[in-house]
Amino acid sequence: MKIYNNVRMLETDLNRRYFTKYGQHLNISGKELISVKFTVVTKEFFNRKRLSPICQQWKNSVSEGLKSRLSKTEVRVVHPEVT
């Protein structure tokens, strides 16, 4: 998880009083506590400063983009459907 910056662990140290009497599912108090913790983690995630992506200008057409990539000495045939 350390290599991914969009993953967070939700630490829950719930004791017996947050579960149903059989201990298998969360009761109302447990669900509320988990939702509060989840809200805090989610808000922290969305309030982080993000880097803006690198933007490049659009080419007018596919063939113009291909022409700009080719060197003057290189000759290529462009498929008719592309132009």
Query: CB–CB of 27/18 below 8 Å?
Result: yes
Tell me the CA distances in angstroms from 32 to 36, 43, 61, 69, one per residue in order.
6, 16, 54, 57
Q: Which two tokens stand for residue 81?
A: 């459907």
Domain locations in the chain as residue ranges: 1-51
Give the DSSP H/E element, type plus range, for residue 69. Answer: helix 62-69
Q: Is the pLDDT of residue 56 over 70?
A: yes
Q: Is the pLDDT of residue 79 over 70?
A: no
Q: What is the pTM assigned to this prediction?
A: 0.50
pLDDT band at 41 (very low <50, low <70, confident <90, very high): confident
Range 56-67 average pLDDT = 64
